[in-house]
Structure 1
């Protein structure tokens, strides 16, 4: 019988549903070896967890097992109207329980960054490390932080409109969403390297979509976006200073969506947090993913290998 290849074993994603309360469900994705540290990924706005699966496949960090999911209202996950930043915490707890995992590292990209920080603050008994990648700071807070400092004019307009309420966010979405493929608009929010990466990744994205053949989302991306935008301009429900889990912020110095200023400021608020800044990179996660994942599992992976050596076993080389 033909043995499966490493690609077939480790790099074909599994899609599954996680039951939530009140009959709601979450669509989740799993990829990577089963015998390495677990990482939970949280996507940004608007998006789905599938993008992180594609980035994992492209960068090949099979020293960890990645589980990500469509946040509520996106992709195949039941909406949760009016959700707040802290509402991600029971979701991550439920995912870990569903997997039978005692703990995991967690990261969030872009609009998911604050959600990863929420799990670090409010679920420290289950979270080993947390990373915020190209994330946004709070719309409020001490120290003179200004959410609108740094991003492009389009992104400043987004948050200014969100401050006016849900209908203003909805109007912003309708005005902007169809223009995002316009080259002039793209250059306002994506540096040249991000545009190159997106073009390079497009064939892989199409291949994975065809491979999984997921049904079209029955939910409104517009509604999910409005919930996200309104959660940004509401209190997060925790203080950055309360985070005790080892935390690191990663950002590209050419990010035009979430200014590096946000990561730099949040580092000053989170006790003992680290900060890694990458020259020439923008908002795209794909290029930063191996660095971020390697940090998230570094301590755990060392323990895994030490235990394996003590037991006289070895890991197959990728």
Structure 2
């Protein structure tokens, strides 16, 4: 005699099927290419429901847009849709030698046009923070809100602000060498690449950051393999362009930002000194800031909160 399957087992099977359907529909990211002038392309990634507010994420240095996709999948904030991309020279995006901070704006605009999206909220993490601010300053009619997460201030600033004050010795050396020119930046990158990975992590990440890095490593690797083929471009070259852009004029006025702005900072950050975020807040009209104990340079755990703030004006 065959026993009927208990009701709660059938319910479990149904829930499992529904859960898998939601994952397939909303949490499986897709990659796409965006054409740029001169035959260049930008590789972008999208995840989340199509009928919710749009958020665009800008990654730091050196990295790709995959990290932002990992954070979304981890937190599953289905109240927003995330688009991230590889910046010029990273991952699958064509290099743009000699680019400046403001040169991120045509990329953001091209992606919005490609998606037929009029507006988005924008955030940037670490070296992407200044790029999100550039977007808000130079695309005011297309930026709903902007967030800067653990972002650097400029290498130049009012009131005696010094970019090189405060961060870890390794980050201080990075900026001091960058002031000398691109070759010194290249040599610094090569020294960094030759260091023991554990030693680098200890100097750049808090203990909690390191725990989170280890926890997310398998998910990051899986999504990277799914979405990003081996990059044909030199990360070293992209890094040199990035760091040299930091020590050059950014090409926009922070005071021109009119979108609601929030500066997020982890008090255990070993890479960006607290004064960077404090200084940025004073330069942007009506900017707010949030500081978090126990958080370092990584914001993985905080991203649902950041996303919720970014889409606040877009939710009915």
Same fold (TM over 0.5): yes
Aligned counterpart, 1:198 = 213
Aligned partners of 1:215, 1:95: CA distance in 2, in Å?
A: 20
Aligned partners of 1:285, 1:136: CA distance in 2, in Å?
A: 15
Aligned partners of 1:78, 1:207: CA distance in 2, in Å?
A: 23
Task: Using structure 1 for the length normalisation, give the TM-score.
Answer: 0.92
Structure 2 unaligned regions, length at least 5: 1-16
Aligned counterpart, 2:114 = 98
1:288 aligns with 2:302: yes
Equivalences for residues 4-43 of structure 1 within 5 A: 5-43=21-59
Aligned counterpart, 1:177 = 193
Aligned counterpart, 1:316 = none
Equivalences for residues 64-83 of structure 1 within 5 A: 64-83=80-99
Query: How much has 1:24 moved relative to structure 2?
Result: 0.6
Q: Are the structure 2 counterparts of residues 116 and 174 from structure 1 closer, same or farther at C-alpha, using a change threshold of 3 Å?
A: same
Q: Are the structure 2 counterparts of residues 180 and 89 from structure 1 closer, same or farther at C-alpha, using a change threshold of 3 Å?
A: farther
Aligned counterpart, 2:233 = 219
Aligned partners of 1:210, 1:137: CA distance in 2, in Å?
A: 34
Aligned counterpart, 2:76 = 60
CA radius of gyration, larger in: 2
Aligned partners of 1:180, 1:77: CA distance in 2, in Å?
A: 28
The RMSD of aligned alpha carbons is: 1.2
1:46 aligns with 2:62: yes
Q: Which consecutive segments of 4 or more residues in structure 1 shift more than 6 A?
A: none
Q: Are the structure 2 counterparts of residues 128 and 73 from structure 1 closer, same or farther at C-alpha, using a change threshold of 3 Å?
A: same
Equivalences for residues 63-212 of structure 1 within 5 A: 63-179=79-195, 181=197, 183-212=198-227
Q: Are the structure 2 counterparts of residues 180 and 163 from structure 1 closer, same or farther at C-alpha, using a change threshold of 3 Å?
A: farther
1:256 aligns with 2:256: no
Q: Does the residue aligned with 2:104 lie in a helix, a strand or coil?
A: helix
Query: How much has 1:147 moved relative to structure 2?
Result: 0.4
Equivalences, count: 299
Task: Using structure 2 for the length normalisation, give the TM-score.
Answer: 0.92
Structure 1 unaligned regions, length at least 5: 304-318
Query: How much has 1:19 moved relative to structure 2?
Result: 0.3
